[in-house]
Amino acid sequence: MGKKENIRKKSPPPTNQSVKNIYPTPPPSPVKTLNNGRTNGSTTTGNNCASTATKDLWDNLFDGGYRADVTIKTDNGDTIYAHANVLGMASPVLRGMLKRSKGCGEKKPISIHGVHQDAVQVFIRFLYSSRYENEEMKEFVVPLLVLSHAYNVPQLKRVVEVELENGLLNTENVVDIFQLSLLCNAPRLTLISHRMILKNFKAVVATEGWRSMRNSHPGLEKELLESVIEEENNQKERIRKSKERKIYLELFESMEALVHICRDGCRTIGPHDKDFTQNQVPCKYRACKGLELLVRHFAGCKLRVPGGCIHCKRMWQLLELHSRLCADSKACRVPLCRNFKEKIRKQSKKDEIKWKLLVKKIMGTKRIRGSVSFLVSSNSISS
């Protein structure tokens, strides 16, 4: 430690001219990685420690079959040559198959059936270099999902799930992918495909995949139909609640505008001691204009009795609603506020329950618009 400190003291501080000579040249910036893991150079990218040259070497090993000791038979009778060490390290299932295999000579035969020979080729190549072509993935995404699960290759399984989520999942294959995701223990893929079925149900029902599922798994079709009905009901309920909230919000805004008109005045209407000037600040209450017309009608209507005029009836209801929301009727400047407070005490229990429920719903809008001074507290409503 002492020697190092002496060295630091003796070395002069670097100048602008000597900086380049002291510090090493920084490494080049990482090359952007494509979807299939290929890069535009030989530099490493992200957390992938294998360079492009190394992956090319593994590809060449697979393509050339140098000292291959395994033969893979496919459905159409073709043979794919591979190396037991690579297959065994990449897949525990293939390792077990190779242990049980008894071949003639140096090469051990195994078979992979049920998928196209080209899909097997893409699968084995991925075990070597973790590479694939976009067109190959697009064409064989379904068999690759099956192979990744059947031979326990989680890396390929994650790649297939990401590719499906990023665009390869469509209305034509979504039913097949949904069934496979249930069998292949891919919960995220199950959720994504299920959402797509619900969102595009009419188009999905017309596909060949849905007709095949109907014949092979009628129970699954029934569950999907039930989930579609449930989703439609939930959608209707969300719309109903949204409309309900909109009505309560409009009533809340009307209460704000009513207090504003009676206390502060707006445009050409307000308390008698209000001085209406020509240059007024624009009104911020959306309900103020409509409420102003309603107040003017109420003031001049000849049938100003509940039930005699539909507009006056609405005004009576707004005044009563305000009195139930008002925190201080003695200081309130809204007409008839105190009178309605007295009337409330004489109302029937049935009417009282209806009004309390309405007031409780409107009070909920305080969370949207913030607290307002004229509102009563929540405790006084529930009591």
Q: Looking at residue 65, what is its pLDDT? A: 80
CATH number for the domain spanning 303: value is: 1.20.1020.10
Residue 213 pLDDT greater than 60, yes or no: yes
Q: How many domains does the chain have?
A: 2
CA atoms within 13 A on the CB side of 306: 5
User: Which alpha helices (H) appear in the chain, and where do they start and end?
Assistant: 2-10, 19-22, 52-64, 84-90, 92-100, 117-129, 134-150, 154-163, 174-183, 187-199, 201-205, 208-216, 218-263, 288-300, 310-325, 337-344, 349-363, 366-369, 378-382
DSSP 8-state class, residue 132: -
- pLDDT digit string (tens) for 220-230? 889 989 988 99
Q: Which pLDDT band holds residue 335 (cuts at 50, 70, 90)? A: confident
What pLDDT shows up at residue 33?
Answer: 45
- Among the candidates 122, 151, 180, a domain finishes at 151
Average pLDDT, the chain: 79
**Would you say residue 180 lies in a domain?**
no
Span 341-365, average pLDDT: 81
Among residues 151, 169, 204, the one where a domain terminates is: 151
The answer to whether residue 178 sits within a structural domain is no
Residue 271 pLDDT exceeds 50:
yes
Residue 268 identity: T
What pLDDT band is residue 123 in, cutting at 50, 70 and 90? very high
| Domain final position from 116, 151, 186 | 151
Position 4 in a domain:
no
User: What does pTM read for this prediction?
Assistant: 0.60
How far is Cα 124 from Cα 62, in angstroms, rounded to an integer?
8
What's the mean pLDDT in 103-127?
86
Task: Determine the structural domain holding residue 312 and report its residue range.
Answer: 247-272+280-364
Residue 100 scores a pLDDT above 80: yes
Identify residue 40 by its one-letter amino acid code: N
159: in domain: no
Does residue 218 belong to any structural domain of this protein? Answer: no
Instruction: Give the pLDDT band (50/70/90) at residue 9.
Output: very low
Q: Quickly state the pLDDT bin for 307 (edges 50, 70, 90).
A: low
CATH number at residue 74: 3.30.710.10
Asked whether residue 205 is assigned to any structural domain, the reply reads: no
3-state secondary structure of 302: coil
Q: What is the pLDDT of residues 176-186, one digit of tens each?
A: 999 999 998 89
Would you say residue 47 lies in a domain? no
Per-residue pLDDT band for 304 (boundaries 50, 70, 90) equals: low
Does the residue 311 lie in any domain? yes
Q: What percent of the chain has pLDDT over 90?
A: 27
